[in-house]
């Protein structure tokens, strides 16, 4: 048997190799003491605390998280749409002399989106102190930049011929641009916008873990005090919110976006955005947040160039970069490789439903909390960080995979089954193989997200650039903070480029859409 | 003659719409049957019911005296199908696709090994040669092939399966007349120049009426019902005209 160029269906399993070094390292440092606590944590899932004080406290935390997420989501959508349109080539086609401005905006946005919202949060806390606006701005900064990028890419991927045709009729540049642009923008906003709202809730939860209030803070405190039943009360409530949100988004898409004219879809989008902003702000005000007072600026003593240079030489940067990259690859391996493996081992319909539910739980627990749980039976190392990140993103990949399998056409699967193949072989060839290219494309995108999240996981897990940043911030060493942030930003920008290239490669070969 | 496949009072309907109605058909070993009928007459549905991938609303499909629903998985590998949409996997190369035909005869490990590298390459090459494709195309990707080439790969996959009966849903629609005739010769006359076992019993739905004389029995379907079941020698041109 001659080895050939690996085919995409095989490549989706190769990342599983990550389990080997992770298992070795975790087993090597394993201590039995924590197992009992892990067991308590798992069993608490079925008997969460129903104490009225606990429920009330969790509900209050949840409200803060949702309100902050709603507000930051709307603001980031508005800014993202504005910057996204400004950074399209399409927009500047009508004003070619100023097209450099579009390029400038496009490339400048790489920096804010390269830094995770939690890192922005930690930095802003130092400058503005503990304030709900810090949480909102921390989400708005990277999310606006990410939304802008997605919108500009999507708009630029459309055919510009209709724009040229319209301009040839004598229409002025701006009105022809708006006529072409708006109908294309609406479907992007309804699909991508709703996804960003879910991300904003996760982002707000994560910020809570790092001290900015809300359900994240509740989760962190209950875990730290080992009140697992209370923790599960928070987790179940968060799960309920996320599932309800999913259903609500699906309902809105089906009832308010399909089969309606363009005018109505614009009105619906604008109404949703403005009412969400209003709800978010009123909600926060109702929760006694002083949202109309601007945050106060704390003067920082910025380091001199010499201090920054010294920090650059003092820090073990190469080691930190290698650690961060290792965490990314190992976590991506787990996230990408595990869901297809489970699908192959348990290919029947009932187990697929079960897997779909399990994946929701995996992505529900924020990675820093998973790290703390894993640290109950091992010591901080790369594998712990990778496993925590891997588990969360495995949940995301797994849920999308099972959902897309449910909605996939089953022609090839039926064809393979009809020749007597086992269900497992038919699943591998008939369901997974046609999805493999698009699955790998989405895996590349996930790896990019994982790289950015190494910052938060490192801070808890004691490894990588994230940990160094946390250490430097704790000692108010601003020179080190600047160096680490810049290096991390450069690393994520390079990663974004690499993963984006790989994503496009897989998408070019894809015959099936993974995201439905 | 040995009775191989029997469709007993088969009907398939959705609400009040019949796809096929009261079909009775006995297929004996060695028979070469052509199914003709207009598009939408129910030919593809009949083939899907015959291979067990669609359950009829009424009636039963009997394979060698046993209901097709009670067959063990492995026994399905005796029934081969060329699907109208071909059902090839674009993500795999030609050799791996051809080997998909043999998945029913092997376990999951074999299926995994086939993803790492093409297994039983010589057999795959013979299947390729049988459908008139060069050996080197074994490494080509399906997405890079033309419609006609894809059809030939689907036929090669069926040959690789080595079934006792072949059901084919319009297998010659994208092929040039000469190649269609060559492949039909291979299937009908069992011109077995290769080490692969050609299925002796055939049921093929087709629109190329000039190929009918190669078969020994013709089934005509109109609006989901069998309206002609005749040997090729007794078939009158007016019957065919009536169907279309």
* A508 lies within 8 A of chain B by CB: no
Give chain B's count of helices (H) and strands (E).
7, 10
Q: Using CB atoms, pick whichever of A2, A422, A428 lies closest to residue B73.
A: A422
Size of interface A-B (CB pairs under 8 A): 108
Q: How far apart are CA B151 and CA B173, in angstroms?
A: 9
Q: What is the pLDDT of residue A516?
A: 37
Low-confidence winner among A256-270, B20-34, B47-61, B66-80 (lowest mean pLDDT)? A256-270
Reference A11, options A432, A468, A367; nearest CA is: A432
Across the interface, whether the CB atoms of B111 and A425 are under 8 A apart is answered yes
Residues of chain B positioned with their CB less than 8 A from the CB of A440? none
Across the interface, whether the CB atoms of A2 and B85 are under 8 A apart is answered no
Handedness of CA B191, B196, B200, B203 (dihedral sign): negative
Q: Of the segments A136-150, B145-159, B225-239, which one has the largest average pLDDT value?
A: A136-150
Domains and CATH numbers, chain A: 50-286 (1.10.3720.10), 305-508 (1.10.3720.10)
B72 φ/ψ sector (left φ>0, alpha ψ -120 to 50, else beta): beta
Residues of chain B positioned with their CB less than 8 A from the CB of A417? 53, 76
Q: How far apart are CA A73 and CA A67, in angstroms?
A: 10
Chain A (9-28) residues lying within 8 Å, Cβ to Cβ, of chain B: 9-10
Q: How far apart are CA B118 and CA A53, in angstroms?
A: 63
Confidence of residue B192 (pLDDT cuts 50, 70, 90): low
Q: Using CB atoms, pick whichever of B93, B100, B103 lies closest to residue A4.
A: B93
User: Each residue's pLDDT tens digit in chain A (516 positions)?
Assistant: 555 678 889 999 999 999 999 999 988 888 887 888 888 988 999 999 999 999 999 999 999 999 999 999 999 999 999 999 899 887 887 777 888 888 899 889 988 998 889 889 988 888 888 888 999 999 999 999 999 998 888 888 777 777 777 777 777 777 777 777 777 777 778 778 888 898 899 899 999 988 888 999 999 999 989 999 999 999 999 989 988 988 888 888 777 776 667 777 788 888 999 999 999 999 999 988 888 887 787 777 889 999 999 999 999 999 999 999 999 999 999 999 999 999 999 988 889 888 988 888 888 888 888 888 888 888 888 999 999 999 999 999 998 899 888 888 888 999 999 888 999 999 999 999 998 988 999 999 999 999 999 988 876 777 889 889 888 988 889 999 999 999 999 999 999 899 888 888 888 776 655 543
Across the interface, whether the CB atoms of B93 and A7 are under 8 A apart is answered yes
Q: Using CB atoms, pick whichever of A3, A415, A429 lies closest to residue B116.
A: A3
Q: How far apart are CA A164 and CA A152, in angstroms?
A: 19
Give chain A's count of helices (H) and strands (E).
24, 0
Residues of chain B positioned with their CB less than 8 A from the CB of A414? 53, 87
Domains and CATH numbers, chain B: 3-243 (3.40.50.300)
Residues of chain A positioned with their CB less than 8 A from the CB of B93? 4, 7
Query: Distance (Å) from the C-alpha of residue B238 to the closest C-alpha of chain A?
Result: 36
pLDDT above 80: residue B118: no
Question: And the tokens for A193?
Answer: 């916008």
Q: How far apart are CA B128 and CA B120, in angstroms?
A: 13
Alpha-helix runs per DSSP H in A87-131 = 89-92, 99-108, 110-114, 117-128
SS3 category, A492:
helix
Distances (CA, A) of A446 to A196, A452, B189: 15, 10, 55
Q: What is the pLDDT of residue B46?
A: 93
Across the interface, whether the CB atoms of A7 and B83 are under 8 A apart is answered no
Q: What is the pLDDT of residue B193?
A: 59
Answer for the pair A3, B117: CB distance below 8 angstroms, yes or no.
Answer: yes
Residues of chain A positioned with their CB less than 8 A from the CB of B140? none
Partners of B165 in the β-ladder: B79, B201
Reference A469, options A366, A298, A323; nearest CA is: A323
* pTM: predicted TM-score of the whole model, two decimal places: 0.84
Q: How far apart are CA A362 and CA A351, in angstroms?
A: 16
Answer for the pair A209, A200: CB distance below 8 angstroms, yes or no.
Answer: no
CB within 8 Å of A13: residues ≥ 6 apart: A337, A340, A341
Residues of chain A positioned with their CB less than 8 A from the CB of B78? 420
Q: How far apart are CA A234 and CA B219, in angstroms?
A: 67
Across the interface, whether the CB atoms of B87 and A421 are under 8 A apart is answered no
Answer for the pair B67, B5: CB distance below 8 angstroms, yes or no.
Answer: no
Across the interface, whether the CB atoms of A429 and B161 are under 8 A apart is answered no
Which chain A residue has the Cα nearest residue B98? A416
Answer for the pair B10, B50: CB distance below 8 angstroms, yes or no.
Answer: no
Query: In the 8-state DSSP scheme, what is residue A32?
Result: G
Q: Tokens 């005296």 appear where? A: B65
Q: What is the pLDDT of residue A128?
A: 86
Q: Using CB atoms, pick whichever of A2, A418, A429 lies closest to residue B117.
A: A2
Helix (H) or strand (E) holding B48: helix B43-50
The vertex-B50 CA angle with B67 and B25, nearest 5°, equals: 85
Residues of chain B positioned with their CB less than 8 A from the CB of A10? 115-116
Pairing assessment for the beta strands B32-36 and B79-82 based on DSSP bridges: unpaired
Q: How far apart are CA A405 and CA B50, in angstroms?
A: 27
Question: And the tokens for B114?
Answer: 């086939």
Q: How far apart are CA B81 and CA A124, in angstroms?
A: 65
């Amino acid at each position: 048997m001659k080895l050939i160029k690996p085919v995409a269906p095989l490549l989706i399993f190769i990342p599983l190799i990550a389990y080997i070094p992770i298992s070795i390292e975790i087993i090597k440092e394993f201590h039995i003491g924590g197992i009992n606590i892990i067991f308590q944590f798992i069993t608490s899932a079925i008997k969460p605390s129903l104490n009225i004080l606990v429920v009330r406290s969790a509900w209050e935390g949840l409200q803060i998280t949702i309100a902050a997420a709603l507000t930051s989501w709307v603001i980031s959508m508005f800014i993202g749409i504005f910057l996204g349109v400004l950074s399209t080539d399409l927009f500047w086609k009508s004003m070619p002399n100023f097209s450099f401005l579009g390029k400038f905006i496009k490339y400048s946005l790489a920096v804010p989106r390269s830094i995770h919202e939690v890192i922005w949060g930690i930095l802003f806390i130092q400058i503005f102190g503990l304030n709900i606006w810090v949480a909102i701005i921390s989400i708005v900064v990277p999310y606006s930049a990410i939304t802008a990028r997605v919108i500009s890419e999507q708009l630029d991927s459309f055919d510009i011929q209709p724009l040229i045709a319209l301009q040839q009729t004598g229409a002025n540049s701006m009105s022809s641009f708006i006529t072409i642009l708006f109908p294309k923008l609406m479907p992007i906003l309804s699909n991508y916008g709703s996804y960003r709202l879910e991300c904003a809730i996760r982002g707000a939860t994560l910020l809570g873990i790092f001290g900015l209030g809300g359900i994240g803070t509740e989760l962190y405190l209950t875990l730290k005090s080992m009140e697992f039943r209370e923790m599960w009360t928070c987790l179940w409530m968060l799960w309920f919110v996320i599932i309800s949100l999913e259903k609500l988004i699906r309902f809105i898409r089906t009832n308010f976006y399909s089969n309606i004219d363009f005018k109505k879809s614009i009105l619906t989008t604008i109404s949703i955005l403005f009412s969400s902003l209003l709800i978010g702000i009123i909600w926060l005000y109702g929760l006694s947040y002083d949202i109309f007072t601007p945050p106060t600026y704390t003067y920082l003593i910025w380091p001199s160039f010499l201090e920054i240079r010294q920090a650059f030489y003092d820090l073990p940067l190469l080691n930190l970069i290698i650690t961060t990259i290792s965490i990314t690859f190992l976590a991506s391996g787990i996230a990408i490789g595990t869901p297809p493996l489970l699908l192959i081992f348990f290919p029947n319909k009932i187990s697929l439903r079960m897997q779909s539910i399990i994946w929701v739980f995996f992505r529900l627990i924020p990675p820093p909390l998973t790290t703390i749980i894993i640290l109950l039976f091992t010591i901080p190392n790369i594998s712990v960080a990778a496993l925590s990140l891997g588990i969360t993103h495995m949940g995301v990949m797994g849920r999308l995979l099972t959902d897309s399998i449910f909605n996939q056409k089953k022609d090839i699967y039926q064809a393979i089954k009809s020749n007597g193949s086992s269900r497992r072989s038919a699943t591998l060839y008939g369901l997974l193989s046609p999805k493999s290219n698009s699955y790998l494309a989405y895996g590349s995108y996930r790896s990019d997200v994982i790289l950015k999240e190494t910052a938060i996981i490192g801070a808890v897990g004691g490894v990588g650039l994230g940990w160094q940043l946390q250490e430097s911030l704790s000692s108010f060493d601003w020179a080190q903070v600047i160096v680490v942030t810049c290096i991390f930003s450069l690393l994520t920008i390079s990663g974004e480029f690499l993963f984006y290239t790989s994503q496009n490669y897989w998408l070019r070969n894809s015959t099936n859409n993974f995201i439905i | 003659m040995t009775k191989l496949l029997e469709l007993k009072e088969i009907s398939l309907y959705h609400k009040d719409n019949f796809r096929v109605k009261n079909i009775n058909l006995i297929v004996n070993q060695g028979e070469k049957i052509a199914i003709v009928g207009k598009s939408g007459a129910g030919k593809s549905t009949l083939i899907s019911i015959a291979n067990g991938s669609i359950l009829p609303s009424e009636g039963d499909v009997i394979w060698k005296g046993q209901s097709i629903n009670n067959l063990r998985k492995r026994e399905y590998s005796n029934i081969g199908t060329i699907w109208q949409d071909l059902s090839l996997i674009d993500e795999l190369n030609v050799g791996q696709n051809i080997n998909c035909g043999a998945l029913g005869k092997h376990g999951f490990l074999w299926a995994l090994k086939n993803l790492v590298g093409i297994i039983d390459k010589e057999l795959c090459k013979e299947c390729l040669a049988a459908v008139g494709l060069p050996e080197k195309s074994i490494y080509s990707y399906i997405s890079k092939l033309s419609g006609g080439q894809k059809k030939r790969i689907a036929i090669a996959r069926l040959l690789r399966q080595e079934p006792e009966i072949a059901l084919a849903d319009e297998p010659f629609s994208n092929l040039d007349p000469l190649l269609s005739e060559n492949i039909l010769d291979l299937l009908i006359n069992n011109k077995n120049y290769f080490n692969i076992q050609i299925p002796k019993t055939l049921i093929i739905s087709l629109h190329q009426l000039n190929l009918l004389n190669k078969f020994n029995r013709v089934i005509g379907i109109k609006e989901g019902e069998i309206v002609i079941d005749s040997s090729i020698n007794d078939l009158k041109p007016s019957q065919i005209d009536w169907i279309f």
